[in-house]
């Protein structure tokens, strides 16, 4: 099981140490940013108020240490009485309304009583639980995003208002900040006082770097959220978890659908036009038209902007190789030459060179139909390794394959990453192993061409592959 909370803590630690993203030293320094904010808040130029022995670690030279009070304003919330609670009144955010870093509006208290101006929330305020019977709940926080109604916050809450709210929100979730109220003098009363909040030291990056840091944190945390979701369902079976993630990827459940991506129908139309041009130029062979996809063939629902296609319709080549005459004898292979791939070289994580053999350029020229090019997909189609597939690197030169492997060459090479993901999925693996023919239980090129692929728009394909690869990388830790 992957402990995502440990990973989150590590990511936040890297973030506030200046080790999560690269620094751009042409950007305005954090010192200038702090001075500008400090002058807006207090009408004075920022002056350092900390001592060297307070600084816990070194930070990049264009960052700066400061106290939270240098870059923001804080205030505690509203005290109300039971008789102030009404059915229709002003919403008061309490500790119970902060769940997993978001404000939850399902269990609300509304009041009718005097409320000072500074006890109302502004958009982008950070709402913090500063006192609670449970120490673990002290410090939980969320960014307030409401604009349509007045909302107040309760007496056991505080707000922190700053232009740097996105970065500060994540800082408040670090162990670096928690040490300020986990110390001995506060452990019995479970609270973050206004003094603690104002005096807490924060390592502040330049504004643009703050944005890059937060974007990277949110990207990683999105992956971890997905892991949490699927781990909760498949806690004790890592292989099942992996399979479910692949299923989710090719069903549109790992990615958001965006209007600006266009549709797979538009992508498909463009691909067909490109294929026609390639055939006219003699760069692709004219092939038999594949049958229309029947409703009864569709195995699962996909998003409305996706499209079911046959693999052969988005490829320019799907064909197998053969073993050269005498290929089972060592005299057909040479010490140096062009790669000749056999099924033992093909793995889902790439081409393995162990056991790789080579052929001469003269022999390669006689094998035009089974010539491997950069950015091809290679698929094992027989034996115990049936279904394994590998992406050929961009910088590959040329090579060839034996009869146990298919070359799958996409019309647009950018499709290959998503198609590779599809082939690795339980859905396609089941199709391959359920559609073998012949004495050696082989998967034919014809059946491969007819294979159904759930096709998303190109930009969404890239998001799917990126997110899945990150999740699988965490799973391998």
* The pLDDT of residue 332: 83
Question: Would strands 201-204 and 64-67 be described as parallel, antiparallel, or unpaired?
Answer: antiparallel
**Residue 146 CB: number of other CB atoms within 10 A?**
15
In degrees to the nearest 10, what's the CA dihedral of 79, 81, 84, 88? 70
- Each residue's pLDDT expressed in tens, for the chain with a length of 477 residues: 678 899 999 999 999 999 999 999 999 999 999 999 988 887 766 666 778 888 999 999 999 999 999 999 999 999 999 999 999 999 999 999 999 999 999 889 999 999 999 999 999 999 999 998 788 889 999 999 987 889 999 999 999 999 999 999 999 999 999 988 876 554 556 889 999 999 999 999 999 999 999 999 999 998 898 888 888 776 556 778 788 889 999 999 989 999 999 999 999 999 999 999 999 998 888 888 999 999 999 999 999 999 999 999 999 999 998 888 765 555 789 999 999 999 999 999 999 999 999 999 999 999 988 999 999 999 999 999 999 999 999 999 999 999 999 999 999 999 999 999 999 999 999 999 999 876 666 899 999 999 999 999 999 999 999 999 988 887 665
Taking the CA atoms of 87, 88, 89 and 94 in sequence, report the sign of the dihedral they define.
positive
The whole-angstrom distance between residue 111's C-alpha and the CA centroid of its chain comes to 41
**For position 186, what pLDDT does the model report?**
46
**346-347 and 371-372 strand pairing:** unpaired
Residue 287 confidence (pLDDT): 86
Q: pTM of this prediction?
A: 0.70
Q: What is the pLDDT of residue 471?
A: 85
Q: Dump the DSSP string for 148-201.
A: SS-EEEBTTEEEEE-TTHHHHHHHTTSHHHHTTTSSTTTTTTTB--HHHHHH-E
**Count of residues making up the chain:** 477
Domain definitions of the chain by residue range = 275-456
Domain 275-456, architecture per CATH: Alpha-Beta Complex (3.90)
The pLDDT assigned to 185 comes to: 53
Task: Classify residue 192 as exposed, middle or buried by CB count within 10 Å of its CB (0-12, 13-18, 19+).
Answer: buried
Q: Coil, strand, or helix at residue 265?
A: helix
In 3D space, the residue among 105, 136, 195, 123 whose CA is nearest the CA of residue 162 turns out to be 123
Q: Report strand pairing: 350-351 vs 357-359.
A: unpaired
**Plot region of 272 (φ>0 → left; ψ -120 to 50 → alpha; else → beta):** alpha
């Amino acid at each position: 099981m992957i402990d995502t909370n440990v990973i989150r803590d590590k990511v936040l630690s890297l973030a506030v140490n200046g080790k999560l993203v690269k620094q751009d030293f042409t950007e305005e320094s954090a010192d200038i940013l702090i001075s500008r904010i400090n002058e807006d808040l207090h009408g004075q130029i920022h002056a350092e108020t900390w001592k060297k022995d307070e600084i816990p670690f070194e930070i990049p030279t264009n960052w700066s240490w400061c106290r939270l009070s240098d870059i923001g304003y804080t205030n505690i919330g509203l005290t109300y009485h039971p008789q102030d609670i009404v059915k229709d009144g002003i919403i008061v955010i309490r500790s119970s309304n902060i769940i997993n870093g978001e404000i939850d509006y399902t269990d609300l208290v509304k009041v009718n009583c005097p409320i000072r101006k500074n006890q109302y929330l502004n958009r982008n305020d950070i709402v913090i639980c500063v006192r609670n019977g449970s120490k673990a709940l002290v410090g939980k926080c969320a960014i307030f995003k409401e604009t349509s109604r007045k909302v107040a916050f309760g007496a056991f809450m505080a707000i922190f208002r700053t232009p740097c709210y996105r970065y500060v929100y994540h800082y408040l979730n670090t162990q670096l900040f928690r040490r300020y109220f986990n110390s001995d003098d506060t452990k019995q009363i479970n609270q973050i006082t206004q003094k603690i909040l104002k005096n807490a030291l924060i390592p502040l990056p330049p504004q643009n770097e703050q944005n890059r840091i937060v974007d990277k944190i949110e990207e990683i945390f999105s992956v971890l959220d997905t892991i949490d979701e699927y781990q909760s369902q498949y806690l004790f079976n890592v292989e099942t978890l992996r399979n479910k993630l692949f299923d989710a990827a090719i069903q549109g459940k790992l990615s958001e659908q965006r209007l600006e991506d266009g549709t797979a129908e538009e992508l498909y139309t463009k691909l067909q036009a490109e294929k026609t041009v390639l055939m006219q130029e003699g760069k692709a062979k004219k092939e038999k038209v594949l049958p229309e996809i029947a409703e009864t063939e569709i195995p699962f629902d996909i998003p409305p902007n996706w499209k079911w296609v046959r693999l052969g319709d988005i490829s320019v080549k799907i064909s197998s190789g053969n073993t050269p005459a005498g290929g089972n004898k060592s005299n057909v292979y040479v010490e140096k030459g062009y790669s000749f791939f056999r099924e033992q070289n093909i793995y889902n994580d790439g081409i393995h060179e162990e056991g790789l053999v080579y052929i001469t350029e003269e022999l390669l020229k006689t094998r035009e139909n089974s010539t491997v090019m950069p950015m091809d997909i290679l698929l094992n189609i027989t034996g115990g390794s049936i279904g394994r597939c590998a992406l050929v690197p961009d910088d590959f030169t040329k090579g060839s394959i034996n009869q146990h492997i298919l070359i799958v060459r996409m019309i647009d090479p950018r499709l290959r990453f998503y198609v590779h993901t599809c082939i690795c999925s339980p859905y396609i693996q089941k199709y391959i192993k359920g559609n073998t023919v012949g004495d050696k239980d082989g998967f034919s090129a014809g059946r491969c061409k007819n294979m159904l692929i759930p096709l998303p728009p190109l930009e969404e394909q890239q998001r799917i592959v990126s997110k899945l690869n990150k999740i699988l990388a965490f799973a391998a830790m």
